[in-house]
Amino acid sequence: MKIKLWLTLLAAGLMALSIGGCSDDDDPPTDPGSTNMFAGYRDWTQVENTNAPSTLLGPAHNGNNGEFTRSIFTTVATMIETGEYDEGTIFVKETHTYDGDADHMFADPMGLLAMVKREPGFDDAGNDWEYFNLNPDDLSTIASGADLGACKGCHMQASGDDGEDFIFLHPMEFEPDPADFDDYATWNLIGTEQGPDALLGPAHEGNDADAVRRIYKKQLAANPDGLGDGYPTGTLVLKEVRSGAGDVIGMTGMAKRGGDFDTTNDNWEYFMWNPANGDLADRGAMAMCIGCHGAANTGTNGKDWVFAHEDDPFNN
């Protein structure tokens, strides 16, 4: 029942998106051969995990399709702020999602890309980076070169505030506009709750026996157990409370901002609207919300500050 709903929702979501489709690859092989320089990249430093739209990426690489998460791994321990990365440095980027069985899937094409810093003189105009399009099955190279496709032309933008040495800034912070929540009624309904809840007490009209609390999640495939630390940056959830008469009497939201927004509480921003007129009443790393949502991190209550809901494929 649960799986079926998730399949239906995902199928509807994918149909609504103009994507090139997915390959049904499983996770990359852990041992593609010791000569493969990308072997074991998931054990390197992970510097990004985001489903947030990127103005730098636009529609390229599913950059504005929130059902896909972009995860970036590198051989270096820290991102540089000035200068150039050392010869031999590698960055790998996965663009991925989850299918109806919550199995990991790569975008197809271009689900697995890489950049390798070559020897001085390899490509003076491009700071000696070689670009790779990889086969996620065995990490073999589909195509590579300093002038592969539009790679270099776009990565040239990675300077100043946006990055350094053709490598974009990571981790990026998602800066939500309250209007990003406006179309929540079109998101995925992951839970419908009514009546008292021990975790809720009087909050969110939890003591009003007639009130119905509906929880919406924008990106159904956002997985708190995925490759990053909790939900991907960019994840949005909203709770709408309606009275028995059907009037909206409560509206709260959460956005995973990432970056260093509030590192002690895993970088969530909380939002509260005035249900009478729909105006934003408050936003921020609000102590009142954090104090209670911390309970979601315990046992089976939920994951990464978000409570469990029946129709969330990963947190239920």
Query: Which of the stretches 13-21, 25-33, 117-125, 265-273 binds ligand HEC when contact is defined by CB under 6 A?
Result: 265-273
Indicate the length of the chain as a whole number. Answer: 316
Helix (H) / strand (E) element for 71: namely strand 69-74
Helix, strand or coil for residue 128? coil
Interface with ligand HEC, residue 93, by CB under 6 A: yes
Smaller CB separation from ligand HEC, 104 or 256 = 256
Interface with ligand HEC, residue 60, by CB under 6 A: yes
Interface with ligand HEC, residue 58, by CB under 6 A: yes
Interface with ligand HEC, residue 204, by CB under 6 A: yes
Q: Please name the residue that has the structure tokens 């998101």.
A: 187
Helix, strand or coil for residue 94? strand
Is the separation of the CB atoms in 51 and 222 below 8 Å?
A: yes
Dihedral of CA 141/145/146/148: which sign?
negative
Closest contact distance (angstroms) between CB of 53 and ligand HEC is 9
Interface with ligand HEC, residue 151, by CB under 6 A: yes
Name residue 211's amino acid. Answer: A
Q: How far is CA 268 from the centre of its chain?
A: 13
Smaller CB separation from ligand HEC, 11 or 276 = 276
Interface with ligand HEC, residue 254, by CB under 6 A: yes
Is the separation of the CB atoms in 71 and 51 below 8 Å?
A: no
Is the separation of the CB atoms in 260 and 285 below 8 Å?
A: no
* Binder among 154, 189, 212, 280 for ligand HEC (CB under 6 A): 154
Q: Which residues contact ligand HEC by CB under 6 A? A: 54, 56-58, 60, 63, 70, 72, 91-93, 113-115, 131-133, 148-151, 154-155, 158, 167-168, 170, 193, 197, 199-201, 203-204, 213, 215, 237-239, 252-254, 270-272, 286, 288-289, 292-293, 296, 306-307
